[in-house]
Amino acid sequence: MESSNSSLEQTLQDGKLHRQVNSLIVAHLRDSNLSQAASAVASATMTPFNVEAPPNKLLELVSKGLAAEKDDILRGVPSNPLYDSGALVPAAYGSIPAPRAATVDFGAIQDTKGMSKNFTKHETRHLSEHKNIARCARFSPDGRFVATGSADTSIKLFEIVKVKQMMLPDLRDGPVRPVIRTFYDHIQPVNDLDFHPQSTVLISGAKDHTIKFFDFSKATAKRAFRVIQDTHNVRSVSFHPSGDFLLAGTDHPIAHLYDVNTFQCYLSANVPEINGAINQVRYSSTGGMYVTASKDGAIRLWDGVSAKCVRSMVGAHGTAEATSANFTKDQRFVLSCGKDSTIKLWEVGTGRLVKQYHGATHTQLRCQAVFNDTEEFVLSVDEPNNEIVIWDALTAEKMARWPSNHVGAPRWIEHSPVDTAFVTCGTDRSVRFWKEIL
């Protein structure tokens, strides 16, 4: 009898799971403007066409499942194809904390005046100095590390725990050194960096036409263990969330897609009229899309599987360069920045301009606009006044202007994905860390 009840319960659970899967498929197809396919699946599975599901829920679950499956495989295999010596990945790396709060739904509220939140005061500390301009920075996905790249061709890796320890008022054990690795392997300035989503691998793109792979689990490693030789100046790099592919934005107008294990390069066959080099390329959180910000002023959205351009916001920043573009965590919007001194929020599904953030002038440097970790605020740089500017992301109200404490305006700002901290890099060669005052 117990066996019969158990069997019935399992059957009911299986049926419930199938209905959930069917609902997610219908919602995904419908929200992707594939109404005919959604209608056919809804009819075949007796699922309501207007079934409710969170945006991109299916993509999110599939991405998590693939990542979990990859972790299982990695645990059962003694070496990683990225490594030259089979070094195992430390277990703690890749365990990414959940966001501190849900992402903001920019589409939910149209009239949002008077609803602004306060952006907590931060203190800042000079962390280190390169021998030339500090050009770029990137946090690891788990927020435990931040790397900076310089015109002096070096890359510095900082451990955030040590950075915060260094900022404590009472240091009983003597001075703390937050720089745990320095890499020297480029022969021209470093333009961009990214961390592998699971492995202790850092990549860099540089003016010497190369993408270099560094294993930062090895204390003695100073040079790259693998190198991709591109045909152009590599201006921007971005890992696919699976870690199996990476994108390179270069002086060529089309992003170069590389298979990480074979180094085979793919170019999109479906290319609109593009005149300018790519200043920045970034994958969405699931890898289903990527976005490019180009020197011709356009923001372009690309299908992450077919590499086809699915939407072009031509003249997104007028005739001025588009310098950065990043997806929101739910992939529904893109935040862009340009040398026309505007920061804009675009709806991915329609290409519609949703918000504009005014009050910061940036016409010279290839600076970017970024969200904080909860996406409640937008941060960027005002060049003439040498300030960090913060807006409420939802209301677009300017919340704060802080002196950058750099000599000359910062050329890069990067926010931690899991914490209230951010870093700025300057033409004064310095790297500064910004921490919330508790």
Which tens digits make up the pLDDT trace of 169-180? 776 666 788 999
Q: What is the pTM of this model?
A: 0.78
Are the CB atoms for 334 and 345 separated by under 8 Å? Answer: yes
Q: Give the span between the Cα atoms of 273 and 262, in whole angstroms.
A: 30
The H or E element containing residue 124 is: strand 122-129
Rounded Cα distance between 340 and 369, Å, is 13
What is the total residue count of the chain? 438
pLDDT at 224: 94
pLDDT tens per residue across span 10-59: 656 666 777 788 888 988 888 877 877 878 787 767 778 888 888 788 88
Query: Residue 73 has which token pair?
Result: 């495989």
- Could you give the CA distance from residue 178 to residue 435 in angstroms, rounded to a whole number? 15
Q: How far apart are CA 416 and CA 423, in angstroms?
A: 8
| Cβ atoms of 236 and 246 closer than 8 Å | no
Span 285-313, average pLDDT: 93
Burial profile 163-196: b = 16 or more Cβ within 10 angstroms, e = fewer = bbebbeeeeeeeeeebeebebebbeebbbbbbbb
Mean pLDDT of the chain: 85
Helix H or strand E encompassing 205: strand 201-206
Nearest-angstrom CA–CA distance, 171 and 165: 8
**Position of tokens 């072009």?**
312
The whole-number pLDDT of residue 37 equals: 81
Confidence of residue 430 (pLDDT cuts 50, 70, 90): very high
Cα 151 to Cα 69, 264, 378, 426, distances in angstroms? 39, 28, 27, 11
First to last CA, the chain: 60
Burial class of residue 340, CB neighbours in 10 A (0-12, 13-18, 19+): buried
CATH of domain 122-436: 2.130.10.10
DSSP conformation letters of 279-310: EEEEE-TTSSEEEEEETTS-EEEEETTT--EE
The predicted-structure confidence for 354-401, as pLDDT tens digits, reads as follows 999 999 988 888 889 999 999 999 999 999 999 999 999 999 999 999
Residue 74 CA: distances (Å) to CA of 67, 167, 238: 10, 37, 22
Of the candidates 308, 305, 329, the residue with the CA atom closest to the CA atom of residue 244: 305
Q: Where exactly are the structural domains of the chain?
A: 2-53, 122-436
108 vs 412: which has the higher pLDDT = 412
Task: Give the angle 369-373-376 at the CA atoms, nearest 5°.
Answer: 75
Structure tokens at 193: 């960096």
Residue pLDDT, tens place only, 208-248: 999 999 999 988 889 999 999 999 999 999 999 999 999 99
Task: Tell me: pLDDT of 255 over 90.
Answer: yes
78-97 tens-digit pLDDT:
344 554 433 333 334 444 44
